[in-house]
Structure 1
Amino acid sequence: MSLTYEDRRTTILAQLEMEGKVQVHHLAQLLSVSTETIRRDLDRLEKEGRLRKVYGGAVKMRMEHVEPPFLKRTQMMKREKSAMGKLAASLVQDGETIMLDNGTTTLEILPYLFDHANLTIITHSVPILNMAMEMFKGKIIFIGGEMNVEYRAATGSLAEQLLDHFKVNKAFITAGGISLTDGITDFHLAEAIISRKMMQRAEEAILIADHSKFGMSTFARVSKLEEISMLITDPGCPKEWIDTIEALGIEVLVSE
């Protein structure tokens, strides 16, 4: 019995959600239909606003082609980020040194670390630095360099060189997008390079990302998914993604 359009549509969108993009020939083989049928399906889905056709296939529609300003992002998914921040902070042990990259989610880790006097935090993020200077009781190391007003962080070759001086217990990394094909990505190349360097200088690289980041690809690659030690996400993360990431040997923790 041949599949209906609705059946094919469900499969195509599921593939798109996981991969971020689909190919005509692969879908034709998967669904046992002609490439012409798949192209017609992609035409319909594009008209529905569910994808954007490209040569040989289609890619997931992106709601935002540029990252929202930092202050706006601090108010987006505030409850989810706070819960993930609390869970991330619970992993930090007394006496450790950790790195926090420049994300609004890593910013939410800090309030749960204020009382850790025997803890060192290394960051290039000005918002994290400002919050830490107000309340944090441990040691703060700021990675300086070329200050980027838009990112509210230090980036560039000097910041990268300074990171080479440290070896830490944990690095908490954020992302602009997460996909099986493109891995962990960021909107900005300079930020992606710093996050990648932090991962390299840590015993454990922990990705902290809310459910909206999955199936998305942004401009600059941070790393392959397999290069992280753990993922922290929120309950909105699809089970298919959790199962897929755990199958890669990566531990997944879901916040309350």
Structure 2
Amino acid sequence: MCKGVNKVSSSFRGRAFDRQQRILTYVRSEGRAVVSDIADLFSISPATLRRDLRALEAQRLIARSYGVFYPTDIGRFETPVEHRRKAKTEERLVIAEAAVAMMVDVDTVFLDEGALPEDLVGPMRRLQRMTVVTRSLTIAAELNRLTDHDVIMVGGRLRPKTMGTVDRWATGMLAELNVDLAFMGTNGVSLDRGLTTPDPAVAQAKTAALQAARQTVLVCEHTKFGVASFAKFADIEQLTYVITGKQLSRATAQRYGASGPKVLRV
């Protein structure tokens, strides 16, 4: 009887794993998922779906925010930037406004690649003319189209997934620059692993940008906290500020702030 129970249990766990992997694949392909959509698509009971989502959350493969689930960029997985653009949230817009408010009376800034740094471009139209350095082809084009800021595009190999430049051309050029503020994005930030990204080449370029800045600001949604991706590019104490949403708990913000940066929940 014990052997039979073990077989049934093993089979059940196998089915649950396969189902959870299908759910994860769907969330990653769409960039976001509403609970009701997943239940209808996979014909899963609410109780089973809740168990599967809790299991994926526990592994930090997905993050939940107000009933919507987002993939986390853990390990080598990286959410395509077009999916991040479609998943624009009120939290991101508020973070962008707070970040742009820091640029008043600043002469030079660096904007990292990524969907959230792209959100800063629109509000930057209100600012006095400044010099903006970026590795993002998309950000450079939008700044040129929407603002009169002087734009310096960092050269290098272009990554199609994010439209950002990397490799020695990018790091070499950044090593010769000095900017007042660098606004950085990240795929994950954790107390023990620091700031991380899936691609080591991107990590090198991000490190070079941090080193070129007098002060650094991490713009980061609350769902990125506690997530560790593949390649580390900075320690938390290297940051001057962290701007995130009020969805991040005060207690968590205080723990990260204890490492050095001023954490702003907006």
Give the TM-score range, shorter chain: 0.7 to 0.9
Return the match for 2:197 from 182, 186, 189. 186
**Cα pair 2:175 2:211 within 8 Å, conserved:** no
2:100 alignment partner in structure 1: 89
Deviation string, structure 1 residues 155-193 (Cα, Å, up to 9, x no partner): 110011011121010000011111111011112222221
Q: CA RMSD in A?
A: 2.0
2:60 alignment partner in structure 1: 61
Return the match for 1:247 from 253, 258, 262. 258
One-letter amino acid of the structure 2 residue matched with residue 240 of structure 1: A
One-letter amino acid of the structure 2 residue matched with residue 61 of structure 1: R
Return the match for 1:113 from 114, 117, 124. 124
**Cα pair 1:230 1:251 within 8 Å, conserved:** yes
Secondary structure (helix, strand or coil) at the match of 1:140 reads strand
TM-score relative to the length of structure 1: 0.74
In the aligned structure 1, how far is the partner of 2:262 from the partner of 2:60? 29
Secondary structure (helix, strand or coil) at the match of 2:113 reads coil
Runs (5+) with no aligned partner, structure 1: 1-44, 53-59
In the aligned structure 2, how far is the partner of 1:101 from the partner of 1:239? 26
1:154 alignment partner in structure 2: 165
1:207 alignment partner in structure 2: 218
One-letter amino acid of the structure 1 residue matched with residue 130 of structure 2: L
% identity of equivalent residues: 22
Runs (5+) with no aligned partner, structure 2: 1-50, 63-70
In the aligned structure 1, how far is the partner of 2:94 from the partner of 2:198? 24
TM-score relative to the length of structure 2: 0.72
Shift of 1:116: 2.7
Deviation string, structure 1 residues 60-104 (Cα, Å, up to 9, x no partner): 432245222111111224221111011000001335100011011
**Cα pair 1:226 1:248 within 8 Å, conserved:** yes
One-letter amino acid of the structure 2 residue matched with residue 204 of structure 1: Q
1:238 alignment partner in structure 2: 249
2:234 alignment partner in structure 1: 223
2:182 equivalent to 1:171? yes
Task: Kindly report structure 1 stretches of 4+ aligned residues shifted beyond 3 Å.
Answer: none
Deviation string, structure 1 residues 97-149 (Cα, Å, up to 9, x no partner): 00011011111111111133421100010110111111111110000111121
Taking the TM superposition and a 5 Å limit, the aligned residue runs for 1:135-150 are: 135-150=146-161
1:75 alignment partner in structure 2: 86
Secondary structure (helix, strand or coil) at the match of 1:175 reads coil
Secondary structure (helix, strand or coil) at the match of 1:49 reads helix
One-letter amino acid of the structure 2 residue matched with residue 49 of structure 1: A
Q: Pick the structure with more helix per residue.
A: 2
Residues 95 and 175 (structure 1 numbering): CA distance in 2 closer, same or farther, change over 3 Å? closer
In the aligned structure 2, how far is the partner of 1:113 from the partner of 1:78? 19
**Cα pair 2:134 2:153 within 8 Å, conserved:** yes
1:39 alignment partner in structure 2: none
**Cα pair 1:174 1:209 within 8 Å, conserved:** yes
> Number of residues paired by the alignment?
204
In the aligned structure 2, how far is the partner of 1:101 from the partner of 1:50? 29
In the aligned structure 2, how far is the partner of 1:144 from the partner of 1:125? 10
**Cα pair 1:117 1:139 within 8 Å, conserved:** no
Secondary structure (helix, strand or coil) at the match of 2:203 reads helix
